[in-house]
Structure 1
Amino acid sequence: MNNAVRTRLPHGGSGSRSARRVRRHGAALLLVAAGALLGWVLPRWERNLPLAGLRFDASTAQATLAAIAGSMITLAGFVVTAITLVVQTVQAMSPRLVAALGHFSRYLVLFGLLVGTALYALVALSHIRGPDVPRLSVTIAVGLVLIDAVAVLQLLASLRHAVTGGGLARAIGARLRTVIDQLYPAAAQPAAPEDTGPSHRRETVPLVYRGRPATLFSVDERALTRLAARHDVHVHFLYAVGDFIRSDTTVARLRVRGPVTDRHRRLARRVAKCVRYGPSRSVDQDAAYGVRLLADISVRALSPAVNDPTTAAQALDQIEDVLLRLSDRPLGPAWLLDGAGRPRISYPAPQWSDLVSLALDETLLYGSANPLVVRRLHALLHRLHIATAEDRKASVAERQQALERLAATALPDPLLNRVATRPGRDDPGAGRAAGEIAGR
């Protein structure tokens, strides 16, 4: 199974994450501009409408709008401070988590809402002259305060989970479940022999990266597959998404029929535009990076400075879920299929043994002295050994043996060693695994 070349359909596009970020930034700017515009237009338009809204005299309306504007500006500052503190806390757990999760950018929309409300109140305040009070405008300002209050409460509720190791692990696990279904579909089939065999009859055009050293961030799979199908070419990537790329490195090869011409070189430039580079990795097309992040949370929790084995166990919960999902799916190198079902794009990808090593080896090393973590690892490896196919059991069995050796060395006391092999009530997932481990 590990050596099979699998196929799948392309999904998404390289700009999906960037598009979400642009939409959120645009929404924040739109809310700010809409607040200022509404505060300018509504009081003027209200002069031609029947009286409606809360009853205010001029002085009370001015005081109300001024208070709303000042409080919203103060609240926007509080939101910025809260997000800054959360970012610092998350970076302390792993400096890569903030960029990988990417959910902090949505708080810009809340910031835009607060600033837009403040601008609305300030601009509407400028229209109160004499006894004429734009009652509807003031009433809407009060309504916006209620909306802002609900939004801020939702922010605080979400931040409560974002600053815990378990909450971060669950967020990464949720992202990984979607990515796994996209990158490793259960229905993947081996590619057709005529498309994956030797291609000595084709000439190649190298796709060379000329920029500064960077990470292969993402590939616009749909656009690239359509381009390859339209021109009847194959693209063979030499590096996987997430790999570090130096300048003047051949990232992929474009295989064409017949001699290489200027048309093929122009096509290679168009193909190169479907590949994106960045300063860091992303989980969106790189499931191994998500596994790396979960391992980071586990290892950081086991460091002497933190000493939080419960958080490590929570990270192992997500690691177990990821590995069980991958245990019966085709892994390794893959081909992307075009609309006619023909393989067009090949790319490398990690094998089962690579993912198991990435997920567990460091926690095995640093957690072997903690009974709770050892118990959790025993349960994880036992379930994984049962779920995996025969040709994948060796990687799991090696870690089971390594765990027993490491735990015996780190926990020489017979009592602690015996306790470490038996799950207890305080273990996450112990209820599921007690019977399994007892029968070993």
Structure 2
Amino acid sequence: MSPLREHLRDTFWFTPTVGLVGAVVGAVGVLLVDEAYVGWLQESGDYGTVASLTKIADDARTIVSTVGSAMLTFIGVVFSISLVALQMASGQFSPRVVRLYVRSRITKCAFAVFLATFLFALLVQASYEGETDPRKVTTVPVFSSGMCVLLVLVSLGLFIAYVNSTLRLMRVSHVIDRINRESMRVLDRHARGGGPGPGADALPPAGSEIVHRGRAGVLRDVHIARLVRVARRHGVVLRLIPRIGDYVVPGTPVLAVHGGHRPPPPRALRYTVSVGVERTFHQDVGFGLRQLSDIAQRALSPAVNDPTTAVQCLDRIVQFLAAVAHRPLGALCHCDRAGTVRLVQDLPGWTDLVDLGLTEIRRCAVTSPQVTRRMMAGLDDLWALVPAGRRQPVERHRALLAQAVARTVPEAAERAFALVPDRQGIG
């Protein structure tokens, strides 16, 4: 997927802007069709039809005027609903789930069509003439009025879809499932985009390093195709030093150049590294686990006290870890068309992902037997699924969980109950 396309998905202005431009182009085009149609009737001498259309246009003007004024109010109501939904989702789940709303195609399309309908109605309303003589009238908005009514019908359909999408955003189960599906897409994208390869120790000695000269921010993604082309052109191997999701400041080394006679010029590497104010799903393997962990921690806080939500988060965390249990992690290599490695990207290892998904939840869950039982079941499942070389982090978390429960729960019976594996928590 193109980084530009991914960045546009993270913005809210692009799709509504396209809708406004489409409304202007569509209005001009349909009005030209109206003008050509009236001209054809006048040339054929059918002035009776022109007179009838002029009378119909008076009624259509009332409809279009009503649509224009009503759509503005409609947009204000929808915007208010959006703000309330965002505030509730951010307060109950995590501030990072707001980006799910921003990336929602239904939401963007709904706002784009609403704004386009409003602008289209204004342009059509401005095209009405006061002339009633069928020999002198130049245009009668016939097709444009019908198009305006069609846009209203489309807007009503999108409004129903938008309300349904917003209600799903306010339900934690759908939010968790959406995060999990996005995380799985990232894994599949990495599997298609590259393969396992040598780490930094297996590469030739680094001849130089390319430092970050842009603004400070979170490393969101890199333009893999462009970096591979630059490396092939200069006969080098580039290695991304920070991980996706790291915070970089100006002067931080971001690319190490291995092999070759001279490093690529800075101009060739311009716009290959993108930083922003927050992490994204595009190339960040661990961002989904970060969000699921945040939601679970908030659910386990004394102010919320919702262990069932934490159990649902653990379900998806175990699913994600099981999906990467047999995948090569660490270094991801991207090759050129000849099959030569040109870019090495550092990914989180198995231990990093297990710690990211379980550590903070484990520390918050010791007083909730529902969560500890689900975590024990998940750890047992992962121990059985992963290769023998990856069982150490799983065993460590199981031992730490048992120790934390032993320190916190004084009664022996309660401790034994809290450590019984149960995939439903308390099924």
TM-score normalized by structure 1?
A: 0.82
Matches within 5 A, 1:37-436: 37=28, 40-48=31-39, 57=56, 60-92=59-91, 93-99=93-99, 102-104=102-104, 107-126=107-126, 127=128, 129=130, 134-184=141-191, 188-191=195-198, 197=202, 199-200=204-205, 204-258=207-261, 260=262, 264=263, 266=265, 268-414=266-412, 416-422=414-420, 427=424
> Which piece of structure 1 moves more, 414-423 or 210-219?
414-423
Per-residue deviation at 1:30? Answer: 2.5
Which residue in the other structure is 1:28 paired with?
Answer: 19
Q: How big is each residue's C-alpha offset from its partner over 1:247-291, in whole Å with a ceiling of 9 and x where there is no partner?
A: 212222223433x4xxx452x431243112222221211111221
Per-residue deviation at 1:139? Answer: 3.3
> Which piece of structure 1 moves more, 352-361 or 79-88?
79-88
Q: State the secondary structure of the residue aligned to 1:330.
A: coil
Check 1:49–1:224 CA distance in 2 against 1; reply closer, same or farther (3 A cut). Answer: same
How many pairs are equivalent? 409
Q: How big is each residue's C-alpha offset from its partner over 1:348-373, in whole Å with a ceiling of 9 and x where there is no partner?
A: 22111111000011111112211221
Check 1:248–1:46 CA distance in 2 against 1; reply closer, same or farther (3 A cut). Answer: same
Q: State the secondary structure of the residue aligned to 1:47.
A: helix
> Which piece of structure 1 moves more, 116-125 or 145-154?
116-125
Partners of 1:35 and 1:90 lie apart in 2 by: 37
Per-residue deviation at 1:204? Answer: 1.6
Check 1:141–1:16 CA distance in 2 against 1; reply closer, same or farther (3 A cut). Answer: closer
Check 1:49–1:376 CA distance in 2 against 1; reply closer, same or farther (3 A cut). Answer: farther
Partners of 1:337 and 1:204 lie apart in 2 by: 20
In structure 2, stretches of 5+ residues that fail to align are 42-48, 135-139
Q: One-letter code of the match for 1:390? A: A
Between 1 and 2, higher relative CO (CA 8 Å, sep ≥ 6) is seen in 1
Per-residue deviation at 1:130? Answer: 6.4
Partners of 2:197 and 2:264 lie apart in 1 by: 31
Partners of 2:280 and 2:115 lie apart in 1 by: 31
TM-score normalized by structure 2?
A: 0.85
Partners of 2:29 and 2:84 lie apart in 1 by: 33
Q: Say if 2:180 and 2:316, in contact at 8 Å, map to a contact too.
A: yes
Q: Say if 1:31 and 1:112, in contact at 8 Å, map to a contact too.
A: no
Partners of 2:422 and 2:203 lie apart in 1 by: 55
Check 1:367–1:387 CA distance in 2 against 1; reply closer, same or farther (3 A cut). Answer: same
In structure 1, stretches of 5+ residues that fail to align are 1-11, 431-440
Q: Say if 2:293 and 2:360, in contact at 8 Å, map to a contact too.
A: yes
Q: Say if 1:236 and 1:345, in contact at 8 Å, map to a contact too.
A: yes
Per-residue deviation at 1:388? Answer: 0.6
> Which piece of structure 1 moves more, 209-218 or 328-337?
209-218
Check 1:13–1:117 CA distance in 2 against 1; reply closer, same or farther (3 A cut). Answer: closer
Partners of 1:407 and 1:46 lie apart in 2 by: 81
Partners of 2:234 and 2:89 lie apart in 1 by: 46
Partners of 1:58 and 1:265 lie apart in 2 by: 65
Per-residue deviation at 1:188? Answer: 3.9
Partners of 1:265 and 1:59 lie apart in 2 by: 68
Partners of 2:210 and 2:270 lie apart in 1 by: 7
Check 1:143–1:210 CA distance in 2 against 1; reply closer, same or farther (3 A cut). Answer: closer
Check 1:351–1:60 CA distance in 2 against 1; reply closer, same or farther (3 A cut). Answer: same
Which residue in the other structure is 1:5 paired with?
Answer: none
Runs of 4+ in structure 1 off by over 6 angstroms are 49-56, 130-133
Check 1:332–1:66 CA distance in 2 against 1; reply closer, same or farther (3 A cut). Answer: same
Instruction: Provide the alpha-carbon RMSD of the alignment.
Output: 3.2
Q: State the secondary structure of the residue aligned to 2:23.
A: helix
Q: One-letter code of the match for 2:162? A: L
Q: Say if 2:193 and 2:334, in contact at 8 Å, map to a contact too.
A: no
Q: Are 1:18 and 2:7 counterparts?
A: yes
Per-residue deviation at 1:103? Answer: 1.3
Q: State the secondary structure of the residue aligned to 1:257.
A: coil
Which residue in the other structure is 2:46 paired with?
Answer: none
